[in-house]
Amino acid sequence: MADALAGLRKSAGIALLATRMNFRSHLVHPGEVALANVGALVQALSGAAVLMLALSASGGIHGWTLAEWAALTGFTTVARALWNTVFFGTLDIPDMVRSGELDHYLVRPTSPLALILFSKVDTDVWIEIVVGTGMLFGALHVSGADVSGPVLVFIPLALIGSALVFAAMHLAVTALSFWLRQDAMLSMLIWRLDSFAQLPMSFYPRWLLTVFSTVVPFAFVGYFPCLYILGRTDSPFVWALPLAGPLLFLPAVLLWRGGLDRYAGTGS
């Protein structure tokens, strides 16, 4: 037990060091970081504007008002940005497996997964967090939702859980590269499907809602947590929703470890 705790402390220390170095490497080129954030801002605002125009013309979407949809979009935007901050490096796993770069991580004195997780961050996460947070709380104010103390406690817990749901899906897909060796398209598919989480699940047909609640659990990213945040449900079971992230991330880690056990390098 003591050895395990010592190993975890060592991995956490190295991960924090890698994160600090990663942030510093971005600050070497501040203009590039600023440009990336401006691009992300333009993309976020243009996408939101198009959907808002569509919703304002129809007066809502499947019982969701424009303000409620904006709150859902803001929430999922922040959750995705949090995932980008820590887990962005998992997208490189397929390339590492195919090229043999993964070997470099295996000979280092700490968890290779921890090193990969903290190996890089997306440079435009800052503006996504600012825009998403502003959109969330602005929309909650406009919608008239009761932002009580329990809701304020629930929001950060749900955001962490949602970021872990994103992380679990991407890690599980990229870990398949140990068997498939060519899963870049699967990873890109999950990446593109992320936008589906920004619409109310009631918009989708029942069979697709079932898929998004089980196989590809986007419903846990924003829709289910926002039902409570927006006052659409007062079920006490909503407090179990933040646990979905850790519960989904655990089997993804086990899949990663299973793939790592069969990894034999490239032979070069």
Q: What's the confidence (pLDDT) of residue 254?
A: 93
Which secondary-structure segment (H or E) carries 161?
A: helix 149-175
**pLDDT of res. 47:** 66
Tokens of 61: 């979407």
* Better-scored residue on pLDDT, 108 or 218: 218
Mean pLDDT of 167-174: 89
- The pLDDT, as a whole number, for residue 76 is 92
Residue 170 has pLDDT above 80, yes or no: yes
- Distance between CA 63 and CA 212 in Å, rounded? 19
pTM for this one? 0.79
Q: How many CA atoms lie within 13 A of 73 on its CB side?
A: 22
Q: Check whether 77 has a pLDDT greater than 80.
A: yes
Give the residue from 82, 53, 114 showing the smallest Cα distance to 194: 82
3-state secondary structure (DSSP) of residue 64: strand
Q: Which two tokens stand for residue 191?
A: 């990446």
Q: Whose structure tokens read 């003591």?
A: 2
Length of the chain: 268
The pLDDT tens digits of the residues spanning 180-199 come to 766 566 666 777 777 777 77
- For residues 187 and 89, the answer to whether their CB atoms sit within 8 Å is no
Pair 185, 162: CB distance under 8 Å: no
Mean pLDDT of 132-159: 92
Tell me the percentage of the chain whose pLDDT exceeds 90.
22
Query: Average of pLDDT values for 25-52?
Result: 67
pLDDT of the residue at 28: 67
Residue 267 in this model has a pLDDT that exceeds 60? no
State the maximum Cα–Cα separation within the chain, in Å, rounded to a whole number: 62
In the prediction, which pLDDT does 225 show?
94
Section 213-241 average pLDDT: 89
Closest CA to 80 of 18, 37, 122, 33: 122
Q: Where is pLDDT greater, at 7 or 178?
A: 178
Which has more confidence, 222 or 267? Answer: 222
259 vs 120: which has the higher pLDDT: 259
Q: What does the alpha-carbon distance between residue 86 and residue 76 come to, in Å, rounded to a whole number?
A: 16
